[in-house]
Amino acid sequence: MKKSHRRLELIGEYGQIAQDFLTGKTLEEWNEDIKLRYAAAHALAGIVENLKEYAKDAEAFQKLLNQYPEIPWNLVIRFRDKLIHHYEMMDQEAIYEFVTQQLPELLKAIREIISDFYLD
């Protein structure tokens, strides 16, 4: 398996973990539970770090950009720097909304790409 495809699998794994943390959790519960926020932040860090590494394979990343232009891949990669270096200053509601509203679409694309890889 190409190393870049393993990165996609890791994104999927971390994404599922992040979603599992928030399943059934309200924004109020998110705001009140610092352990939940830190655990989800760690899973998100795994997603964005692996996406950043995946992007180093220019051909594979360009294919991702072309196949799924509706997903702001470069914005997600830039999100990494904020998450890692400026976590304390981030809007916690924005993180919650990313995991509950935007992450599912990103993970759907990742799963489709992984499926295509194994079908080729």
- Active-site residue, 78 included: no
| Percentage, residues of the chain above pLDDT 90 | 44
pLDDT in tens, 30-74: 999 999 999 998 999 999 999 999 999 898 889 889 999 998 888
Q: Which of 5, 42, 80, 111 is catalytic?
A: 80
Residue 85 annotated in active site: yes
Q: What is the CA radius of gyration of the chain?
A: 14
Residues of the chain with pLDDT > 70: what percent? 95
Active-site annotation holder among 7, 37, 42, 85: 85
- 38-75: burial string, b at 16+ Cβ within 10 Å, e else: ebbbebbbbbbbbbbbbbebeebbeebeeebeebebee
Instruction: Assess contact for 7 and 54: CB atoms under 8 A.
Output: yes
| Whether residue 86 has pLDDT greater than 90 | no
Tell me 103's DSSP state.
H
Q: What pTM did the predictor assign?
A: 0.85
Q: Are 60 and 54 in contact (CB under 8 A)?
A: yes
Instruction: Find the mean pLDDT for residues 11-23.
Output: 94
Mean pLDDT, all residues of the chain: 87
